[in-house]
Amino acid sequence: MKKLLLAGAGILLLAGGIIFYSEFRTVNFVDAFLTNPDELADKVHRVTIWGEGDHESFEALAIFNQSDEDFDEILAALSEWEVKRTLFQDIDYTNMYKMDIANNAQPINPVVLKITPDGMMNIHGKEYKLISGSSMEELIDIAK
């Protein structure tokens, strides 16, 4: 009986470890939250970057549409993003950017993420850290 309980506990620990690892490993941003990277240009039709404006409101800093010259460059930059889920990270919501990524499959329901200048982001209510890829300032500079 004792061996059976130890085996059951071992199986539960192993399953928990696998689930924890898969949730908190480094993933490609596009692959995890948007679509297959090969289909990105076909699915996404607009990317808008918002920054804090007057009176705690957001103002559009950069808008990229499919017809823009810089659209492929912004999609390439997003494809390079690698993110990792974090626990117990405090995000400073006073100084941040917001990005809306509108896709053709759900045009009225864009992917919205909030990201701080240091790379902490909130996606679907979960905190992630930008591990590699262009910063928000670099993405905004593409539009200029």
Among the residue ranges 14-18, 48-52, 111-115, 125-129, the one predicted with the least confidence is: 14-18
Query: 100-115, pLDDT tens digit by residue?
Result: 888 776 667 788 888 8
Torsion of CA 134, 54, 90, 111, to 10 degrees: -50
- 27-143: CATH class: mainly beta
130: helix, strand or coil:
strand
pLDDT at 55 over 60: no
Model pTM? Answer: 0.73
pLDDT at 56 over 70: no
Torsion of CA 135, 114, 58, 116, to 10 degrees: -50
Write down the pLDDT at residue 133: 83
127 φ, ψ (degrees, to nearest 5): -90, 135
Residues with Cβ within 8 Å of residue 87, at least 6 apart in sequence: 24, 127
Domain limits, the chain: 27-143
Among the residue ranges 9-23, 25-39, 59-73, the one predicted with the least confidence is: 9-23
